[in-house]
């Protein structure tokens, strides 16, 4: 259940930044940037904080190579579904949502990987040690 929550937050973060609907930060900033500058800056900073938390944890947990491998696994899964005829390539909006889904899954896996590794191996990751 904890992975699902981490992934859902990552999905909201990525989809709030950009998605194929008119309701996203990038489009809102381009359309109303100067008229609503204070709330735009606040929203942008909140998104930056979210990305900082997720990207830092993901890079520390699985690294750039791990991120590429997770993305490749999910992209290959999409490829298999296209090859089997479950998904089509003619729907541009669906393809964009799939890219958002894959990006959020990479962040969700990265944020959850230390927990998964601890459960599998029984070893905890310790990055910062307090010495008295």
In this predicted structure, what is the pLDDT of residue 1? 73
Distance CA 33, CA 90 (A): 33
User: Tens digit of pLDDT for each residue in 39-57?
Assistant: 999 999 999 999 999 999 9
pTM of the predicted protein model? 0.85
CA angle 54, 56, 60 (to 5 degrees): 115
């Amino acid at each position: 259940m904890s992975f699902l929550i981490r992934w859902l937050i990552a999905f909201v973060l990525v989809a709030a930044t950009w998605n194929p609907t008119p309701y996203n930060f990038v489009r809102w900033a381009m359309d109303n940037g100067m008229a609503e500058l204070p709330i735009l800056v606040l929203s942008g900073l909140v998104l930056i904080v979210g990305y900082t938390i997720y990207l830092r944890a993901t890079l520390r947990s699985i690294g750039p190579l791990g991120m590429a491998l997770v993305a490749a696994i999910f992209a290959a899964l999409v490829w298999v579904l296209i090859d089997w005829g479950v998904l089509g390539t003619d729907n541009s909006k669906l393809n964009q949502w799939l890219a958002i889904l894959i990006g959020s899954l990479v962040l969700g896996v990265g944020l959850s990987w230390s927990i998964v590794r601890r459960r599998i191996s029984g070893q905890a990751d310790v990055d910062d040690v307090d010495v008295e």
